[in-house]
Amino acid sequence: MEQQEIGEKSLIADLHIHSRFSRATSKDLTIPNLVKYARIKGVGLLGTGDFQHPEWSKELNGLEEKDGLIYYENFPFLWQTEISLMYSQGGKGRRIHYVILAPSKEVAVQITKFLGSKGRLDYDGRPIFGFSSIILAEEIEKIDKDIEIIPAHIWTPWFGIFGSKSGFDSLKEAFEDKADRIHAIETGMSSSPDMNWRIKELSEKSIVSFSDCHSFWPWRIGREATIFSGELSYKNILRQIREKSFLGTVETDPGYGIYHWDGHRNCKFSCSPEESKKLNNLCPVCGKLLTIGVENRVEELATNPKGFKPGNAKPFYKILPLQELIALAKGSTLASKKTWAAYNQLIEKFGNEFNILLHADKVELVRALPGDELLVKLIIDNRIGNIKVKPGYDGTYGEPMLKEEQRTLF
């Protein structure tokens, strides 16, 4: 993607997040913290996350609404939640996650009422229901035609609509005659747009990216995002999703995702799809079936060859979070004092993380980081996709590597 495409009139949006009322989330995940770190990251619009949860809803309802968005200290949020559907279809158990975007507080309340009629809403910010994807599409359409349903992290083995463990082989199979109601899919961290371009059915769908973050830290929030343009309103965001007219997306390297390769976390074993085939998908450590990852599943469903690019494809940045680069350069951890010191030093100089990752001139970086040639190099290499990642597998994050480490793996 050309750097000038992200200008003053563009908007980096992360429309899949969670509140502190979802399982496995930070207890400090509050609206003020979300706003603080979104601004540090360079994200200009967030989803609310979990709008149907009764406690989180109370906090959201106190915010001012304008043009379908709500504001805290002049920072915009779009009404958003994620739900989990667990049901049987075609003789197989299905477990699918969906992102839902709503055009107003009034509509969010109606969605909440519908979901409340199907089960409890108070035990988890991402509640589980037993009805099908088809019923979801039918009932949501009755509430308001401007509600957007987006299959979340579509390749995740356990909860993606194309996942190897409980998903479908197509949107048509999942939604039947309601498949046209789906205008977009979310890549998830373990896949990138070019992987999704290989699926013919997705050629007319928008391929969007969001973080699904469970904390506000800058290595989580906005790690994947979609870039919009024009006025700040729900209608404009919705139009660009449905018309496929947004500018592009921000992606991590798909190897960074926790399900990119096949493997067994408990056995500390992972491998490529080619190796899995040689092993008959059996773990050489314990002898049980491997958890089949995203790269393997894409290959299984792909109809277009590797390298295929449709004419209407959107450009994308493939970048790792800045704190990963700092930790790699300094041999530290993401949240160490050493990493934070370098991070804050750069933010003070350049304003926000995306400015550093995408725009900061090499000469300016050298001046800001005297004597830290390795970190400068990693920032530039990251921008051009020149950092290899040891692929994640079976719930384990991938690991960025220095050149000498890369030689031992690839």
Looking at the structure, do residues 167 and 68 belong to the same domain, yes or no?
Answer: yes
pLDDT, tens digit, for every residue of 310-366? Answer: 999 999 999 999 999 999 999 999 999 999 999 999 999 999 999 999 999 999 999
Q: Is residue 400 part of a domain?
A: no
Q: Which of 12, 50, 34, 400 is nearest to 237 (CA)?
A: 12
Number of domains within the chain? 2
Residue 3 has what pLDDT? 42
Tell me how far apart the alpha carbons of residues 359 and 315 are, in angstroms, rounded to a whole number: 16
> How many Å is the Cα radius of gyration of the chain?
21
Residue 395 has what pLDDT? 97
Residue 4 has what pLDDT? 42
Domain boundary among 255, 285, 304: 255
* Dihedral angle of Cα 88, 197, 256, 397, to the nearest 10 degrees: 10
Contact 112, 51 (CB under 8 A): yes
Q: What pLDDT band is residue 404 in, cutting at 50, 70 and 90?
A: low
Residue 403 has what pLDDT? 77
What is the pLDDT averaged over residues 195-223?
97
Q: Is residue 399 part of a domain?
A: no
Looking at the structure, do residues 42 and 117 belong to the same domain, yes or no?
Answer: yes
Looking at the structure, do residues 32 and 140 belong to the same domain, yes or no?
Answer: yes
Whether the per-residue pLDDT at 45 is higher than 70: the answer is yes
Looking at the structure, do residues 368 and 229 belong to the same domain, yes or no?
Answer: no
Tell me how far apart the alpha carbons of residues 232 and 74 are, in angstroms, rounded to a whole number: 12
Q: Is residue 395 part of a domain?
A: no
CA dist list (Å): 19 to 76, 129, 271: 16, 19, 34
Residue 331 has what pLDDT? 96
CB neighbours (10 Å) of residue 63?
A: 17
Tell me how far apart the alpha carbons of residues 189 and 9 are, in angstroms, rounded to a whole number: 26
Q: Is residue 59 part of a domain?
A: yes
Q: Is residue 298 part of a domain?
A: no
pLDDT, tens digit, for every residue of 155-194? Answer: 999 999 999 999 999 999 999 999 999 999 999 999 999 9
CATH number at residue 60: 3.20.20.140
Q: Is residue 267 part of a domain?
A: no
Give the position of tokens 């973050």: 213
pLDDT, tens digit, for every residue of 93-119? Answer: 999 999 999 999 999 999 999 999 999
Summary mean pLDDT of the chain = 96
Looking at the structure, do residues 251 and 336 belong to the same domain, yes or no?
Answer: no
Looking at the structure, do residues 243 and 329 belong to the same domain, yes or no?
Answer: no
Domain boundary among 235, 255, 275: 255
Looking at the structure, do residues 237 and 109 belong to the same domain, yes or no?
Answer: yes
Which residue(s) pair with 262 in the sheet? 271
Looking at the structure, do residues 118 and 242 belong to the same domain, yes or no?
Answer: yes
What is the pLDDT averaged over residues 292-318?
97
Looking at the structure, do residues 191 and 72 belong to the same domain, yes or no?
Answer: yes
Looking at the structure, do residues 155 and 63 belong to the same domain, yes or no?
Answer: yes
φ/ψ (deg, to 5) at 403: -55, -45
Domain boundary among 224, 255, 286: 255
Q: Is residue 30 part of a domain?
A: yes
Domain ranges, residue 367:
322-386
End-to-end, the C-alpha distance of the chain in Å comes to 26
Q: What pLDDT band is residue 406 in, cutting at 50, 70 and 90?
A: low
Whether the per-residue pLDDT at 409 is higher than 80: the answer is no
Looking at the structure, do residues 53 and 202 belong to the same domain, yes or no?
Answer: yes
Q: Is residue 24 part of a domain?
A: yes
Would you say how long the chain is, in residues?
A: 410
Looking at the structure, do residues 240 and 347 belong to the same domain, yes or no?
Answer: no
Both tokens of 202, joined, read 């997705």
